[in-house]
Amino acid sequence: MANYDSYNFIAMITPRPLLTIAGSKADTLRFSQEAIALAKEPKELFVISSKTHAELYDEMEDSGPNLVSFFSQALSFKGTA
């Protein structure tokens, strides 16, 4: 992973929605912040208070509603019938 710079590919996924979820105590929070800063809309960073990276794995009650809300809006059909 150290030799792979995924930030170089963020522009390639536009206009696909990008959601990152991170804990406020996570050592990896800066990676999520950097990815969101480089991404174009639609994008969102949800920071879960007082959680580390590993503490987020089994706790969908904190992130689940944010997932549903973001993707419901980002993936909604905006065309005409």
Q: Could you tell me if residue 35 is inside a domain? A: yes
Q: Dump pLDDT digits (tens) for 22-35.
A: 999 999 999 999 99
Q: What pTM did the predictor assign?
A: 0.76
Q: Could you tell me if residue 47 is inside a domain? A: yes
Cβ atoms of residues 67 and 19 within 8 Å = yes
Q: Could you tell me if residue 36 is inside a domain? A: yes
What is the end-to-end Cα distance of the chain in Å, rounded? Answer: 45
Q: Could you tell me if residue 63 is inside a domain? A: no
pLDDT value at 10 more than 90: no
Total tally of structural domains belonging to the chain: 1
pLDDT value at 2 more than 70: no
Which domain, by its residues, includes 47?
Answer: 11-56+68-74
Cβ atoms of residues 69 and 76 within 8 Å = no
Q: Could you tell me if residue 52 is inside a domain? A: yes
Q: Dump pLDDT digits (tens) for 25-65.
A: 999 999 999 999 999 988 999 999 999 998 888 777 878 88
